[in-house]
Amino acid sequence: TRREVECSAPVNIALIKYWGKRDENLILPLNSSLSITLDQEELCTTNYVYTDTAISQDSLTINGLPHSLDTPRYLSCLQTLRQLSGRHERVWIESTNNFPTAAGLASSAAGFACLVYSLAQLFQLDCELSAIARRGSGSACRSMYGGFVEWKRGVLSNGEDSIAYQVFSEDYWPELQVLILVVSDQKKSVSSSHGMQRSVKTSPLINTRAESIVPERIQLIKTAISERNFESLAKLTMMDSNQFHAICMDTLPPLFYLNEVSHKIINMVHRYNEQCSEVRLGYTFDAGPNACLLVQKQHVKQVLAIIHYLFPTSNEDKFVIGKSNSVSPT
């Protein structure tokens, strides 16, 4: 008998970054992190999955191309889902991103969140799923929820308490918007997984960040969100992005994820805020040169005009406007 399910999962952007693992196999982080989930209409992964007695082996396609499921990350997600549900039929998975996979826009987060959620639906498994998505890619656990999401570091060595939860819902701060500036759609030279491994091994600063700076920042940013205090949210986000890239520079050999255009964007944001005599814009960069800007609805038009003026480009369609009002996978 054939059964099928279709689900989609959103991309999330960390405002307080996850960087460094304390357990490579279980994907347990050195520190907690906090993210904002983007609107699924704009950026998401959609999965169509089915089981059928005629299927003899698990298979996966991403944007129509065959992909191996025979990697530790896929295997641990599949095995955990099967163990918990007691279902062992083979599955067929067709995964599609509505954004260019090459653009380095957190595609693994949405991808693994979608994989775990859709298979859990197919296997009729009703349990905490973020810890399973985490086994696919750390940041994927945060894509299981909409709005503002914290991935708690946890303390248990089996990872059971290293899970994500929603701090504030997607409706909490509707004026808050995220603009994504695609600076380059090249694949990054060092993946996040390898980069953070190298930082854990060589950066003398990473432990101070994880142990004493991030815990305080998570508290402060939660307060900023609860008060809808844009200045505080934007400042904490920019500081944390800069500190993450400082850790990258503190790594040996260093990790250069930002490029000249990224630096120009950073300068533009600070100059704009100065001229406005208030903080109207914030930025954050993951392990790549693309920028995510935080802005409130009433300033989006002005900000886009400045960006188009400073970065004249024919690729206007690359400026994707996302919102923080996403919903959990359905």
> Measuring CA to CA, how many Å separate 300 from each of 51, 313, 328?
45, 18, 25
ω into residue 72 within 30 of 0, thus cis? no
For the chain, report the end-to-end CA distance as a whole number of angstroms.
Answer: 23
* Residue 37 binds ligand DP6, judged by CB under 6 A: no
Nearer to ligand DP6, 192 or 262 (CB): 192
Q: Does 18 sit near ligand DP6 (CB under 6 A)?
A: yes
How many CA within 13 A on the CB side of residue 136? 29
Residue from 37, 80, 130, 139 binding ligand DP6 (CB under 6 A): 139
Contacting range for ligand DP6; rule: CB under 6 A; set: 15-23, 39-47, 215-223, 317-325: 15-23
Which residue, among 113, 87, 90, has the nearest Cα to 10 in the 3D structure? 113
Is 245 or 280 the residue whose CB approaches ligand DP6 more closely? Answer: 245
Stretch that binds ligand DP6, among 14-22, 59-67, 76-84, 93-101 (CB under 6 A): 14-22
3-11, 131-139, 174-182, 297-305 -> range binding ligand DP6 (CB under 6 A): 131-139
Q: Which is nearer to ligand DP6, 19 or 74 (CB)?
A: 19
Q: Which residue is nearest to ligand DP6 (CB)?
A: 138
193 scored as a contact of ligand DP6 (CB under 6 A) = yes
Residues 261-290 that bind ligand DP6 (CB under 6 A): 286-287
∠ CA 70-122-130, nearest 5°, is 70
User: C-beta of 21: minimal distance to ligand DP6 in Å?
Assistant: 7
- The DSSP-derived string for 257-279 is ---HHHHHHHHHHHHHHHHHTS-
**74 contacts ligand DP6 (rule: CB under 6 A):** no
Residues between 77 and 116 that touch ligand DP6 (CB under 6 A): 108
Contact partners, residue 112, CB within 8 Å, separation at least 6: 73, 77, 133, 136, 137, 140, 143
Question: Which residue in 312, 268, 313 sits closest to 293, CA to CA?
Answer: 268
Total interface residues for ligand DP6 by CB under 6 A: 14
Q: Decide the pairing of beta strands 28-29 and 319-323.
A: unpaired
Residue entry with tokens 């255009």: 261
Binding window for ligand DP6 (CB under 6 A); candidates: 16-24, 45-53, 161-169, 266-274? 16-24
Site for ligand DP6 contains 45 (CB under 6 A) = no
Specify the DSSP class assigned to residue 158.
T
Stretch that binds ligand DP6, among 38-46, 137-145, 200-208, 231-239 (CB under 6 A): 137-145
Element (H, E) at 135: helix 130-136
37 or 137: CB nearest ligand DP6: 137
C-beta of 192 vs 251, nearer to ligand DP6: 192
Closest CA to 133 of 111, 150, 155: 111
- Asked if 33 interacts with ligand DP6 (CB under 6 A), we say yes
State yes or no: residue 192 binds ligand DP6 (CB under 6 A): yes
Which residues contact ligand DP6 by CB under 6 A? 14, 17-19, 27, 33, 108, 137-139, 192-193, 286-287
